[in-house]
């Protein structure tokens, strides 16, 4: 945004030159074939500035009314806008860093375009918080400025780095807690590979994308889920109410010499177009300013003999999988196991009853170049996942023979679990035991935490759920209806679409395979836009959703099943919407919400008993049929929660 800086009674006005000015110019004059603003920028520079200068948002009330504007000014509009860093870039740095990133002492902070109007301040705010700060810039002169004037711990010239991922690993060997995003594209892709668990990304801008007709794809968004990253776009206009508080802080820091600021001033209105275009070539050093004159049931029939050695059917992974998985990537084998925990061990021995097929298991079938939130399976060994089991023997004081548990177990008849602290013990009720692989287990808690804790739904909001007939999606839609929301789901068959509307109570649903334009489909069902998107798919669906989100929309990134079988994930091109619409996009993993399980269980059992929540399972009998059931998730063969029945007692 171009803002006005007025020094009364001086006849000289200074205009801030900012990246978003080019978006306004492009709307007015279009782009040439290369995607860069035409030379008409020079002709329309006066128009562009006139769009911003005479506004009540930037001048005192008397000045605003003198221009005949009838919209009300924002809170505190009686303030005249002082010189940088006290105006828009300063407020942007303040709001983005403190309000969105919630920084803590000792955290690792990375700032792109760090020598610019906003970046130089973010870095200094982070240092004042006691953070370790690294910035990137486009010249060695700017790198030197970051380290020797602004006090960054480290800085690098991104143009001299052939591998941005390697560069970030060099400066952040333990990962990044906070990324202040000004660039987008390849830089964002590299950052996503280096974010720490629960990292925060404040999306202030994406300057690398503004001059492109087709935005670059960002391929590593799946990391949002794995690392539980919160990525949120924002605009400074939403934080004007904080201006007095910001002004007190920044003035104090300036007076104490704790904050410094660099401006790059161009003289004369006729120099404005060159100064503006210079932003996109990195020609400016610091803030670019133009000086002008004038965001259940169980029956136990067989008693096993303690210490008995029995056969144990198992499913193992043959080798790491690339591309689309096949049933033959797994093998069915029989080994033996002793039905007793080792003497002195705190392990528990369980008989597995029901096993859960979940999309995330695909990510464990490949070798990872970077740490994953769960380790990969070991070729030649038994695969594992969530399941329901009965305790046969225990060396742990919290578990005894006959206890029913759900949690992580092996894909085999019997498992020795060495860390039983991760298991949830439960009492059988009048619901099926298999429900603890779904609605009463990990998928149910995922739906509950993702919808209520990440999305903060409100009555009347518009909610879209992808993969809506799956284990998680079917519950999210029903939770949203209980909240009084308007809910639409997508699925991959007409049968599933009917299920969504006639069994789960969705307002609308569509078969995405029959839509040749997902953007148009979403506009048909959400003419006013989407408030909440529960993300299970990724790729093209996410790209279309971003175009249809409302301002301050929320995206809970639970999974991206369309990407799990790809060697190179698809690029997502419309991430700029995260900035302009101030969208909060947050990945999450159910592990972080296990403490809510008792609260969730009370909630869900009540609604099941009252008939307000229904659940659909797709079961297959026999461990040997498990691999085919698991692979079926990725072709959409299952209807509802996919469960493998190993034993019913």
Distance, in Å, from the CA atom of 311 to the CA atom of 413, rounded to the nearest integer, reads 9
Q: Which of 218, 204, 567, 214 is nearest to 362 (CA)?
A: 567
Q: Which helix (H) or strand (E) holds 443?
A: helix 442-448
Residue recorded with tokens 């004038």:
294
Residue 6 pLDDT: 34
- Give the residue-averaged pLDDT of 343-360: 93
Query: Residue 109 pLDDT > 70, yes or no?
Result: yes
Task: Quote the distance between the C-alpha of residue 477 and its chain's center.
Answer: 20
- Give the residue-averaged pLDDT of 625-632: 92
Residue recorded with tokens 């060997």:
173
Sign of CA dihedral 332, 333, 338, 342: negative
Task: Quote the distance between the C-alpha of residue 605 and its chain's center.
Answer: 30
Distance, in Å, from the CA atom of 64 to the CA atom of 56, rounded to the nearest integer, reads 4
Interior angle at CA 343, CA 339 and CA 345, nearest 5: 95
pLDDT band (50, 70, 90) for residue 360: confident
pLDDT in tens, 137-150: 999 989 998 999 89
Of 284-298, 554-568, 602-616, which has the strongest mean pLDDT? 602-616
Distance, in Å, from the CA atom of 538 to the CA atom of 573, rounded to the nearest integer, reads 12
CB atoms within 10 A of CB 597: 18
pLDDT band (50, 70, 90) for residue 636: confident
Residue 403 pLDDT: 96
Residue 41 pLDDT: 35
Give whole-number Cα distances, 390 to 56, 315, 341, 394, in Å: 69, 19, 14, 11
- How many Cα neighbours within 13 Å face the side chain of 74? 16
Task: State yes or no: cis peptide before 9, omega within 30 of 0.
Answer: yes
Tokens standing for residue 266: 């161009």
pLDDT in tens, 203-218: 999 988 877 888 888 9
Q: Which helix (H) or strand (E) holds 220?
A: none
Task: Quote the distance between the C-alpha of residue 174 and its chain's center.
Answer: 20
Residue 363 pLDDT: 84
- How many Cα neighbours within 13 Å face the side chain of 263? 17
Contact of 428 with 347, CB cutoff 8 Å: no
Q: What percent of the chain is helix, strand and coil (3-state, nearest 5)?
A: 35, 25, 40
Comparison of pLDDT for 638 and 222, the residue scoring more = 222
pLDDT in tens, 50-62: 223 233 333 233 3
Residue recorded with tokens 């889920």:
225
Domains annotated on the chain, with CATH: 1-81+262-294 (no CATH), 88-260 (3.40.50.720), 309-438+639-645 (3.90.180.10), 447-609 (3.40.50.720)
CB atoms within 10 A of CB 560: 29
φ and ψ of 72, to 5 deg: -70, 145
3-state SS of 94-115 is HHHHHHHHCCCCCCEEEECCCC
431: left (phi over 0), alpha (psi -120 to 50) or beta: beta
Query: Lowest mean pLDDT: which of 365-374, 432-441, 572-581?
Result: 365-374
pLDDT in tens, 212-250: 888 888 999 999 998 999 999 999 889 989 988 998 898
Distance, in Å, from the CA atom of 196 to the CA atom of 182, rounded to the nearest integer, reads 19
- Percentage of the chain surpassing pLDDT 90? 62
Give whole-number Cα distances, 40 to 22, 163, 209, 289, in Å: 12, 37, 20, 20
Q: Which of 339, 336, 351, 352 is nearest to 308 (CA)?
A: 339
Distance, in Å, from the CA atom of 438 to the CA atom of 478, rounded to the nearest integer, reads 15
Provide the angle, in degrees to the nearest 10, between the axes of the packed helices 40-52 and 21-29: 120
Q: Which helix (H) or strand (E) holds 413?
A: none
Residue 304 pLDDT: 56
Distance, in Å, from the CA atom of 217 to the CA atom of 372, rounded to the nearest integer, reads 22
Residue 273 pLDDT: 58
Contact of 446 with 590, CB cutoff 8 Å: yes
Distance, in Å, from the CA atom of 169 to the CA atom of 369, rounded to the nearest integer, reads 13
Residue 46 pLDDT: 29
Give whole-number Cα distances, 328 to 314, 319, 337, 624, 625, in Å: 14, 10, 25, 12, 12
Residue recorded with tokens 């860390």:
419
pTM of the model: 0.70
Alpha helices in 256-334 (DSSP H): 272-279
Task: State yes or no: cis peptide before 577, omega within 30 of 0.
Answer: no
Give whole-number Cα distances, 580 to 220, 291, 324, 550, in Å: 21, 28, 36, 10
Give whole-number Cα distances, 85 to 13, 119, 472, in Å: 16, 11, 47
Query: Residue 192 pLDDT > 70, yes or no?
Result: yes
Contact of 208 with 216, CB cutoff 8 Å: yes
The per-residue pLDDT of the chain, averaged, comes to: 82
């Amino acid at each position: 945004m171009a803002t006005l800086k007025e020094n009364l009674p001086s006849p000289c006005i200074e205009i801030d030159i900012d990246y978003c000015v080019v978006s306004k110019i492009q709307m007015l004059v279009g782009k040439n074939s290369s995607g860069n603003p035409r030379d008409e920028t020079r002709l329309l520079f006066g128009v562009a500035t006139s769009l911003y200068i005479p506004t009540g948002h930037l001048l005192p009330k008397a000045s605003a009314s003198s221009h005949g504007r009838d919209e009300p000014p924002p809170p505190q509009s009686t303030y005249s806008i002082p010189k940088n860093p006290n105006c828009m870039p300063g407020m942007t740095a303040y709001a983005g860093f403190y309000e969105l990133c919630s920084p803590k002492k000792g955290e690792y902070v990375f700032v792109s375009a760090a020598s610019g109007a906003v970046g130089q301040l973010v870095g200094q705010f982070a240092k004042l918080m006691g953070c370790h700060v690294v910035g990137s810039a486009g010249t060695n002169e700017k790198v030197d400025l970051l380290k020797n004037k602004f006090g960054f711990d480290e800085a690098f010239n991104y143009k001299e780095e052939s591998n941005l991922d390697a560069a970030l690993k060099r400066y952040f060997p333990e990962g990044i807690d906070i990324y202040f995003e000004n660039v987008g594209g390849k830089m964002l892709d590299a950052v996503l590979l280096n974010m720490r668990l629960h990292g925060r990304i404040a999306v202030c801008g994406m300057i690398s994308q503004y001059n492109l007709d087709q935005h670059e794809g960002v391929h590593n968004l799946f990391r949002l889920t794995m690392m539980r990253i919160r990525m949120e776009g924002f605009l400074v206009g939403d934080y004007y109410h904080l201006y007095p508080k910001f002004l007190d802080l920044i003035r104090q820091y300036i007076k104490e010499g704790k904050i410094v600021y660099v401006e790059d001033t161009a003289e004369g209105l006729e120099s404005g177009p060159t100064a503006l275009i210079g932003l996109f070539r990195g020609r400016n050093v610091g803030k670019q300013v133009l000086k002008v004159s004038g965001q259940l049931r169980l029956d136990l029939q067989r008693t096993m003999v303690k210490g008995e050695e029995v056969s144990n059917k198992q499913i193992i992974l043959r080798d790491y999988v690339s591309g689309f998985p096949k049933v033959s990537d797994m093998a069915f084998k029989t080994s033996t196991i002793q039905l007793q925990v080792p003497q002195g061990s705190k392990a528990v021995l369980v008989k597995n009853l029901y096993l859960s097929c979940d999309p995330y298991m695909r990510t464990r079938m490949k070798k990872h170049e970077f740490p994953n939130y769960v380790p990969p399976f070991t070729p030649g060994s038994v695969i594992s996942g969530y399941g329901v089991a009965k305790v046969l023997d225990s060396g742990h004081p919290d578990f005894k023979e006959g206890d029913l548990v759900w949690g992580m177990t092996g894909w085999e008849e019997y498992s020795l679990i060495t860390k039983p602290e991760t298991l949830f013990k439960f009492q059988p009720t009048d619901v099926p035991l298999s429900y603890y692989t779904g609605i009463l287990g990990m998928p149910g808690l995922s739906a509950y935490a993702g919808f209520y804790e990440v999305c903060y739904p409100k009555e009347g909001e518009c909610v879209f759920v992808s993969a809506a007939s799956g284990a998680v999606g079917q519950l999210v839609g029903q939770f949203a209806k209980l909240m009084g929301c308007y809910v639409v789901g997508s699925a991959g068959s007409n049968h599933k679409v009917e299920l969504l509307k006639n069994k789960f109570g969705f307002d609308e649903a569509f078969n995405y395979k029959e839509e040749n334009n997902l953007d148009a489909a979403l506009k048909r069902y959400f003419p006013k836009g989407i408030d909440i998107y529960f993300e299970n798919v990724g790729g093209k669906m996410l790209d279309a959703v971003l175009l249809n989100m409302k301002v301050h929309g929320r995206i809970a990134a639970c999974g991206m099943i369309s990407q799990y079988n790809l060697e190179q994930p698809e690029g997502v091109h419309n991430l700029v919407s995260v900035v302009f619409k101030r969208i909060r996009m947050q990945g999450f993993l159910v592990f972080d919400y296990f403490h809510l399980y008792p609260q969730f269980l009370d909630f869900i059992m009540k609604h099941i008993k009252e008939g307000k929540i229904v659940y659909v399972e797709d079961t297959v009998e026999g461990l040997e049929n498990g691999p085919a059931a698991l692979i079926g998730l990725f072709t959409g063969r299952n209807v509802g929660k996919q469960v493998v029945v190993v034993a019913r007692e």
